Amino acid sequence: MSTTTTTPLPYHLTPKDHLIENSPTSKLSQKIILNLLNTKCSTSLQHLKQAHDLILRTGHFQDHFIAGSLVKCYANPHFGTLDCSIKVFDQVLKPNVFVCNSVIKGCLENNEPCKAISFYYEMVVVNSRPNKYTYPTLFKACTAARAVEEAVQIHAHVVKHGLGGDGHIKSAGIQMYASFGRLTEALSMLNDEGEESDVVCWNAMIDGYMKCGDVEAAKELFDGMLKRNVGTWNVMITGFARCGMLEEARKVFDKMPEKDDISWSAIVDGYNKGGYFKEALEIFHEMQREKVRPRKYVLSSLLAACANVGALDQGRWIHTYMERNFIPIDAVLGTSLVDMYAKCGRLDLAWRVFEKMKQKEVFSWNAMIGGLAMHGCAEDALELFLKMQGEKIKPNDITFVGILNACAHAGLVDKGLKYLNSMEQVYGVEPTVEHYGCVVDLLGRAGLLTEAEELISSMPMQPNPAVWGALLGACRKHGNVVLGEKVGKILLKLEPQNSGRYALLSNIYAKARRWDDVASLRKSMKERGIKTTAGGSMIELDGTIHEFKIGDGSHPQAKEIYLMLKRVIEKLQMEGYSPNTSQVLFGIDEEEKETALGHHSEKLAIAFGLLNTMPGTTIRIVKNLRVCEDCHSATKLISRVYNREIIVRDRIRYHHFKDGTCSCKDFW
Ligand code: ZN
Ligand code: ZN
pLDDT digits 0-9 by tens, 125-154: 877 789 999 999 999 999 999 999 999 999
For 171-189, what is the mean pLDDT?
Answer: 90
User: How many other CB atoms are there within 10 angstroms of residue 274's CB atom?
Assistant: 16
Nearest by Cα to 553 from 599, 591, 592: 599
Q: Which ligand is nearest to the CA of 551?
A: 1
Ligand 2 centroid to Cα of residue 370, in Å, is 18
Q: Which ligand is nearest to the CA of 654?
A: 2
Ligand 1 centroid to Cα of residue 538, in Å, is 14
Which residues are bridge partners to 536 per DSSP?
Answer: 549
DSSP 530: P
Ligand 2 centroid to Cα of residue 122, in Å, is 56
Ligand 1 centroid to Cα of residue 185, in Å, is 53
Ligand 2 centroid to Cα of residue 334, in Å, is 29
Backbone angles phi, psi at 305, to 5 degrees: -65, -45
Q: Does residue 492 have a pLDDT over 70?
A: yes
Kindly state the percentage of the chain with pLDDT values over 70: 92
Ligand 2 centroid to Cα of residue 657, in Å, is 7
Cα dihedral sign for 166, 172, 177, 178? positive
User: How many other CB atoms are there within 10 angstroms of residue 598's CB atom?
Assistant: 19
- What pLDDT, on the 0 to 100 scale, is given for residue 553? 83
Of the listed ranges 171-180, 440-449, 587-596, the least confidently predicted one is 587-596
Segment 4-12 long-range contacts (CB within 8 Å, at least 24 positions apart): 4/56, 5/53, 7/50, 7/53, 9/54, 10/47, 10/50, 10/51, 10/53, 10/54, 12/36, 12/40, 12/47, 12/50
Ligand 2 centroid to Cα of residue 587, in Å, is 26
Ligand 1 centroid to Cα of residue 630, in Å, is 6
Top-confidence residue, 205 or 20: 205
Ligand 2 centroid to Cα of residue 171, in Å, is 50
Confirm if 590 and 518 have CB atoms less than 8 A apart: no
Q: Does residue 526 have a pLDDT over 50?
A: yes
Ligand 2 centroid to Cα of residue 600, in Å, is 16
Ligand 2 centroid to Cα of residue 286, in Å, is 38
Q: Does residue 452 have a pLDDT over 90?
A: yes
Q: Which ligand is nearest to the CA of 606?
A: 1
The C-alpha angle with vertex 175 and arms to 170 and 178, in degrees rounded to 5, equals: 120
Q: Which ligand is nearest to the CA of 639?
A: 2
- What pLDDT, on the 0 to 100 scale, is given for residue 594? 55
Ligand 1 centroid to Cα of residue 629, in Å, is 7
Q: Which ligand is nearest to the CA of 579?
A: 1
- What pLDDT, on the 0 to 100 scale, is given for residue 619? 93
Ligand 1 centroid to Cα of residue 550, in Å, is 9
Confirm if 311 and 281 have CB atoms less than 8 A apart: yes
Ligand 1 centroid to Cα of residue 56, in Å, is 69
Q: Could you say which of 1.25.40, 3.30.1450, 3.40.50, 1.10.3470 is the CATH number of the domain covering 432-527?
A: 1.25.40
Ligand 1 centroid to Cα of residue 570, in Å, is 17
For 618-636, what is the mean pLDDT?
Answer: 89
**pTM of whole model > 0.95?**
no
How many helices (H) and strands (E) would you count in the chain?
34, 6
pLDDT tens-digit profile of 210-258? 988 899 999 999 998 888 999 999 999 999 998 889 999 999 999 999 9
Amino acid letter at 557? Q
pLDDT tens-digit profile of 89-109? 999 988 899 999 999 999 999
Ligand 1 centroid to Cα of residue 380, in Å, is 30
Q: Which ligand is nearest to the CA of 665?
A: 2
Ligand 2 centroid to Cα of residue 667, in Å, is 7
pLDDT tens-digit profile of 48-74? 999 899 888 888 888 899 999 999 999
- What pLDDT, on the 0 to 100 scale, is given for residue 624? 84
Ligand 2 centroid to Cα of residue 474, in Å, is 16
Q: Which ligand is nearest to the CA of 507?
A: 1
Q: Which ligand is nearest to the CA of 660?
A: 2
Half-sphere exposure of 168 (CA within 13 A, CB side): 9
DSSP 599: T
For 530-546, what is the mean pLDDT?
Answer: 81
- What pLDDT, on the 0 to 100 scale, is given for residue 8? 36
- What pLDDT, on the 0 to 100 scale, is given for residue 277? 83
Residues 41, 51: Cα–Cα separation, whole Å: 8
Ligand 2 centroid to Cα of residue 367, in Å, is 22
Helices 465-478 and 481-494 sit at what angle, rounded to 10 degrees? 150
Q: Which ligand is nearest to the CA of 627?
A: 1
Ligand 1 centroid to Cα of residue 432, in Å, is 33
Confirm if 128 and 96 have CB atoms less than 8 A apart: yes
Q: Which protein residues have their CB within 5 A of the ion that is ligand 2?
A: 655, 662, 664
Ligand 2 centroid to Cα of residue 293, in Å, is 40
pLDDT tens-digit profile of 306-337? 998 888 988 999 999 999 999 999 999 999 99
Q: Which ligand is nearest to the CA of 623?
A: 1
| SS3 (DSSP) at 441 | helix
Ligand 1 centroid to Cα of residue 404, in Å, is 27
Pairing assessment for the beta strands 619-623 and 646-649 based on DSSP bridges: parallel
Which residues are bridge partners to 38 per DSSP?
Answer: none
The whole-chain average pLDDT of the chain stands at 87
Ligand 1 centroid to Cα of residue 342, in Å, is 24
3-state secondary structure 329-392: CCHHHHHHHHHHHHHCCCHHHHHHHHHHCCCCCHHHHHHHHHHHHHCCCHHHHHHHHHHHHHCC
- What pLDDT, on the 0 to 100 scale, is given for residue 210? 93
Ligand 1 centroid to Cα of residue 585, in Å, is 11
Residues 31, 488: Cα–Cα separation, whole Å: 69
Q: Does residue 607 have a pLDDT over 90?
A: yes
H-state helical runs in 146-276: 148-160, 167-179, 183-191, 199-211, 215-224, 230-242, 246-255, 261-274
Residue 6: pLDDT band with limits 50, 70, 90: very low
Q: Does residue 507 have a pLDDT over 50?
A: yes
- For 222, residues 6+ apart whose C-beta sits below 8 A from its C-beta are 206, 228, 232, 236
Ligand 2 centroid to Cα of residue 532, in Å, is 24
Ligand 1 centroid to Cα of residue 633, in Å, is 9
Ligand 2 centroid to Cα of residue 565, in Å, is 20
Nearest by Cα to 119 from 95, 152, 144, 136: 95
Q: Which ligand is nearest to the CA of 376?
A: 2
Could you tell me the CA-to-CA distances from 317 to 302, 329, 444, 542 in Å, in that order?
Answer: 11, 15, 40, 11
Q: Which ligand is nearest to the CA of 630?
A: 1
Residues 15, 8: Cα–Cα separation, whole Å: 13
Could you tell me the CA-to-CA distances from 368 to 298, 342, 419, 468, 542 in Å, in that order?
Answer: 21, 8, 18, 28, 27
